[in-house]
Amino acid sequence: MSLVVGVDIGNSTTEACAADVGADGEVTYLSAALGRTTGVKGTVANVPGVVEVVVRALKAAGRDPAGVRAVLVNEATPVISGLAMETITETVITESTMIGHNPDTPGGVGLGVGTTVAFADLPDRAPGDAVICVAGADADFEDVAAGINAAVTRGVRVTGAVVQADDATLIANRLREPVPVVDEVTLVHRVPLGMPAAVEVAEQGRTIRTLSNSYGIATVFGLDPEQTRMIAPVARALVGNRSAVVVRTPSGDVTGRRIPAGILTLIGERTKRSVEVDAGAKEIMETWRRVRPLADADGEPGTHVGGMLARVRDTMADLTAMPRDAVRIQDVLAVDTFVPQRVTGGLAGEFALENAVALAAMVRTSRGPMELLADRLREALGTDVLIGGVEADMALLGALTTPGTAKPMAILDLGGGSTDAAVTDEGADEGAQVRSVHLAGAGDLVTSLIDSELGLDDTDLAEEIKKFPLAKAESFFHIRMEDGTVRFFDEALPAEAFARVVVLTDAGMRPIRTGHGVERIRQVRRSAKQRVFVTNALRALEQVAPGGDIRRIGFVVVLGGAALDFEIPDMIAEAVSEFGIVSGTGNVRGSEGPRNAVATGLVAGHASAHAASTAVRCG
Ligand code: ADP
Ligand code: MG
């Protein structure tokens, strides 16, 4: 009997499996442990994380670390995923300034058109002038209301107001002739004065109609078709707001520089093709299909994609002390997305949803860094450290410990940075043909899509939205779950959850502070999972399938952290059922669920190799 520990160093998680291996190759599994991977996978920074899980697994098994014969690590060649959101449309406003936002309480209702005038200058305006009054936070709401009333009495047509403080209702309620008032305009001092402008406020529960429509703006300002074309992005950015202001400024006042998305060149082992990133994900992945297997990829310098691939290469070169041009990109995944972008020329932090392409790129380097890591582990652990086989192959061996599975079989390992697949035929262990792939894009990409599409700028919250269902706190004592059912509570819910969308985490309810409704968040969450995992599952299985025919794969076992997700395994099962494939979540060793497959496989692989060599020696 010899005590061994299999260790799987993943992008996110380091997992261990302790076991006794007999001379005949018989394995007695003792324990499992897992922890966060320290540093980038496959680099010496992993040492503390590995030491910790090894110690914990041995402790759980009640074994003395001094008795360990060998620690088996996966061939964790460093893999990093880069992510670039390439904006492929862009809102740049050159001939107007706009404010479009959803202050909690705009005042008045309707549309007002006139020339912008500072509140202090209102007394100077002549009777008959149509004006929009602009007031900073220094003006008190009572003074503003009184000033507007006085101007109106003199015959000045004050048709609307723009104010900095949160005062709109207070002002509107004091006006003799109500007009729309937009408040909470942070950059009110940048509203151009003496320019034609329009102010619109919708009734409660509605959205603006005129300023969110290009022809509405054209009508208000008397624009010709060319000018209307220029103003179209303004209308687009204002859709869905309860209030808005558009100010016409002389052309060229606000300009923006546009960085192109750029051209991505995919270099295959046999052929090479280029594709414009702004053609979208579908076109990029079609191009990938035509050149695969990928040997490297390049981005046009001076563009978004060029910058992204350069960053990936630099990071990798730094981490592994490899020359920059020895770094190769071995896979890319493009996903269509949209990003809320700050609108150039907006004055209240306005965002417009821009189409974008997210690219995950994966780099694979040589075995060098791995050997360095193994050396360091030998020193730290004081035992022999053996580098085991390819990760996906090991995952397959581990998955075969799932009760009810048999060869031929395929696995999908859904991790944090990569989606791996392997397939084996019926052959005995040593003779079995295993084919595997390692693809860019997995759980972390889903999290970043959720983060950016919902404009959260909070990865932890995005991660929770990914993992847990949503609900809306409809009263202090009940929530409506995303599936429509209602759950009641005996104790009052926390005040900050009231009337908000919440995510029901392990640790309790967490309010999501955005204007998005349950349906919207759910749709973004599910579609991000589809775009990454369903796409990658099919892409991976297609590459490992016998003869490239996915229908020849009968059974798929889904593994990895993302296999714990409450909807991803179902989405994959549904997508592959079209090809007659049965897919289910693994239960490694009958106890570990979809976790620990690679660590277990390392032990199983070591045991059978060991038995084979013993048999040779005996025979
Ligand atoms: P790796 O092998 O790359 O280290 P893992 O197999 O640990 O990765 O998987 C990590 C991914 O699994 C992360 O994206 C994480 O968000 C996701 N994940 C972990 N637990 C859950 C869960 N309970 N539900 C959904 N996703 C999960
Ligand atoms: Mg993994």
Residue 253 phi/psi, 5-degree rounding, is: -65, -40
Q: Which residues contact 581 (CB under 8 A, 6 or more apart)?
A: 541, 550, 551, 553, 554, 555, 556
Mutational test site, ligand 1, from 37, 444, 464, 564, max ligand atoms within 8 Å of CB = 564
Q: How far, CA to CA in Å, does 447 sit from each of 185, 453, 457, 535, 566? A: 32, 10, 11, 16, 15
Residues in the chain: 619
600 CB within 6 A, ligand 1 = no
**Average confidence score pLDDT of the chain:** 88
Amino acid 158: pLDDT: 96
Taking residue 460's Cβ as centre, other Cβ atoms within 10 Å add up to 11
- Of 55-59, 127-131, 301-305, 402-406, which range is least confident? 301-305
Please report which confidence band the pLDDT of residue 427 belongs to, taking 50, 70 and 90 as the band edges: low
User: In this model, does residue 369 exceed pLDDT 70?
Assistant: yes
Average pLDDT for residues 187-192, to the nearest whole number?
Answer: 82
Average pLDDT for residues 321-329, to the nearest whole number?
Answer: 82
- Which protein residue's CA is at the shortest distance from atom 24 of ligand 1? 565
Rg for the chain, CA atoms, rounded: 31
Higher pLDDT, 475 or 306: 475
Contact 445, 532 (CB under 8 A): yes
Q: Is 587 helix (H, G, I), strand (E, B) or coil?
A: coil
Report the alpha-carbon angle 278-280-286, nearest 5.
125
Amino acid 226: pLDDT: 84
Higher pLDDT, 518 or 238: 518
79 alpha carbon, closest ligand: 1
Q: What is the token pair recorded at 171?
A: 């002002």
Please report which confidence band the pLDDT of residue 255 belongs to, taking 50, 70 and 90 as the band edges: very low
Taking residue 229's Cβ as centre, other Cβ atoms within 10 Å add up to 12
Residue ranges of alpha helices (H) inside 239-303 are 281-291
467 CB within 6 A, ligand 1 = yes
Please report which confidence band the pLDDT of residue 443 belongs to, taking 50, 70 and 90 as the band edges: very high
What's the distance, CA 40 to chain centroid? 19
- The CA distance from 310 to 270, in Å, is 23
Partnered with residue 19 across adjacent β-strands are 4, 29
Rounded to 10 deg, the angle between the 368-381 and 47-61 helix axes is: 50
Please report which confidence band the pLDDT of residue 96 belongs to, taking 50, 70 and 90 as the band edges: low
564 CB within 6 A, ligand 1 = yes
Q: How far, CA to CA in Å, does 452 sit from each of 102, 103, 449, 457, 461? A: 20, 22, 5, 7, 11
Please report which confidence band the pLDDT of residue 257 belongs to, taking 50, 70 and 90 as the band edges: very low
- Of 59-73, 206-220, 260-274, 422-436, which range is least confident? 422-436
Higher pLDDT, 167 or 615: 167
Residue 430 phi/psi, 5-degree rounding, is: -70, -35
- Which protein residue's CA is at the shortest distance from atom 23 of ligand 1? 564
Q: How do 409-414 and 555-559 pair as beta strands? A: parallel
Please report which confidence band the pLDDT of residue 431 belongs to, taking 50, 70 and 90 as the band edges: low
Q: Which residues contact 336 (CB under 8 A, 6 or more apart)?
A: 280, 281, 282, 355, 356, 357, 358, 531
Please report which confidence band the pLDDT of residue 123 belongs to, taking 50, 70 and 90 as the band edges: very high
565 CB within 6 A, ligand 1 = yes
300 CB within 6 A, ligand 1 = no
Average pLDDT for residues 204-220, to the nearest whole number?
Answer: 89
398 alpha carbon, closest ligand: 2
23 CB within 6 A, ligand 1 = no
Amino acid 561: pLDDT: 97
Of 539, 356, 519, 536, nearest to 444 by C-alpha is: 536
Residue 302 phi/psi, 5-degree rounding, is: 80, 10
User: In this model, does residue 253 exceed pLDDT 50?
Assistant: no
User: In this model, does residue 95 exceed pLDDT 80?
Assistant: no
Q: What is the token pair recorded at 458?
A: 């909070």
Average pLDDT for residues 327-349, to the nearest whole number?
Answer: 80
- Burial classification of residue 372, based on how many CB atoms lie within 10 Å of its CB (0-12 exposed, 13-18 middle, 19 or more buried): middle
For 566-600, what is each residue's pLDDT tens digit? 999 999 999 999 999 999 999 999 999 999 999 99
Contact 346, 234 (CB under 8 A): no
Q: Which residues contact 489 (CB under 8 A, 6 or more apart)?
A: 477, 478, 479
Partnered with residue 247 across adjacent β-strands are 97, 197
560 alpha carbon, closest ligand: 1
User: In this model, does residue 54 exceed pLDDT 90?
Assistant: yes
Amino acid 447: pLDDT: 96
Which structural domains are found in the chain, ordered by start?
81-89+258-364 (3.90.470.30), 96-253 (3.50.30.70), 406-585 (3.30.420.40)
Partnered with residue 97 across adjacent β-strands are 247
For 9-22, what is each residue's pLDDT tens digit? 998 999 999 999 99
Of all atoms in ligand 1, which is nearest to the CA of residue 418?
3
Contact 54, 16 (CB under 8 A): yes
Please report which confidence band the pLDDT of residue 481 belongs to, taking 50, 70 and 90 as the band edges: very high
The set of long-range contacts for 121-125, using a CB threshold of 8 Å and a minimum separation of 24, is: 121/193, 122/147, 122/148, 122/150, 122/151, 122/156, 122/158, 123/147, 123/150, 123/151, 125/151, 125/156
Amino acid 348: pLDDT: 64
Q: How far, CA to CA in Å, does 542 sit from each of 333, 339, 535, 597? A: 15, 31, 11, 22
Average pLDDT for residues 265-283, to the nearest whole number?
Answer: 94
Greatest mean pLDDT among 134-148, 194-208, 350-364:
134-148
- Of 35-49, 76-90, 164-178, which range is least confident? 76-90
Amino acid 618: pLDDT: 46
- Percent of the chain whose pLDDT exceeds 90: 60
Taking residue 139's Cβ as centre, other Cβ atoms within 10 Å add up to 20
Contact 347, 359 (CB under 8 A): no
Residue ranges of alpha helices (H) inside 13-92 are 47-61
Higher pLDDT, 217 or 344: 217
Amino acid 10: pLDDT: 92
420 CB within 6 A, ligand 1 = no
Average pLDDT for residues 487-494, to the nearest whole number?
Answer: 92
- Which protein residue's CA is at the shortest distance from atom 8 of ligand 1? 415
100 CB within 6 A, ligand 1 = no
Average pLDDT for residues 498-522, to the nearest whole number?
Answer: 92
Which regions of 75-195 does DSSP assign to beta strands (E)? 81-87, 96-101, 110-118, 130-135, 157-163, 181-182
Amino acid 349: pLDDT: 64
Mutational test site, ligand 1, from 7, 9, 13, 572, max ligand atoms within 8 Å of CB = 13
Q: Which helix (H) or strand (E) holds 533?
A: none
Q: How far, CA to CA in Å, does 342 sit from each of 11, 83, 176, 188, 213? A: 32, 20, 37, 17, 20
Of all atoms in ligand 1, which is nearest to the CA of residue 443?
14
Contact 426, 516 (CB under 8 A): no
